[in-house]
Structure 1
Amino acid sequence: MITRNTKKTLDFLENLMGEKLTLGSFILAIRQGEELSQVEFAKLLEVSRQVLCDIEHGRRIISPKKAAEYAELLGYSKKQFVRLCLQDLIDRDHLGLIVEIENAA
């Protein structure tokens, strides 16, 4: 799995997709980039195919803790997965805020 995840990469993905990046769309992009089926990828995340499908299409928003677990399982930055997760929650409630995450001291 690719383990580098930078702001530049996220910006590139948003431009490529033509829409704001969500945790679900990011997970979808990772799965497609790895050329895995939903069934195969769901097994990696230890969820059902339907749960993965719901996450990828924004019908299910996961907790920050679960986002961190997925990042670890996939070898990606916990910081970015949690940021996207929190941003999804903020956007769902139309609060007009942008989430920024820093590592705790």
Structure 2
Amino acid sequence: MTTKYGLKEMEKEYGPLTFGKALEAHRKGEEMTLKQFAKVLGITPSSLCDLEKGRRIPSVKRAAKIARIIGMSEKTWVKFAIQDMIREADLEYNVSVA
């Protein structure tokens, strides 16, 4: 028996996937401390913490830069940031993040 467990199921269980949650998951997957990862990104540990905790949403330009630095899809990470901005504005639009 196979169980389909995708983004929708994950969001149901853990809440919406945000830029910050994705960034924290990536950092932990790389087994890096907050301080180490902040250095890689060229930002302060407190700025990284604010991003991961969702206290700050990166601009589209900053999201793309972070994606380039970590070698991930700029398009996906920019979509995460835009969706967070939409959520913060309390609008009910969805950006397809794939």
Shorter-chain TM-score: which interval?
A: 0.7 to 0.9
The count of aligned residue pairs is: 91
2:30 is matched with which residue? 34
Consecutive unaligned residues in structure 2, runs of 5 or more: 1-5
Runs of 4+ in 1 over 2 A off after TM superposition: none
Q: Which has the higher contact order (CA 8 A, sep 6+)?
A: 1
Residues 1-50 of structure 1: CA distance to partner in whole angstroms, max 9, x if unpaired? xxxxxxxxx728x7186111000100000001111000000011100000
Q: Which has the larger radius of gyration?
A: 2
Deviation by residue 1:62-101 (Cα, 9 ceiling, x = unmatched): 1000000000000000000000000000000111000147
Question: 1:15 matched to which residue of 2?
Answer: 10
In structure 1, the gaps of 5 or more residues are 1-9
The normalised TM-score by structure 1 is: 0.80
Pairwise CA RMSD of aligned residues?
Answer: 1.9
Q: Secondary structure at the match of 2:24?
A: helix
TM-score (norm 2): 0.86
Question: 1:96 corresponds to which residue?
Answer: 92
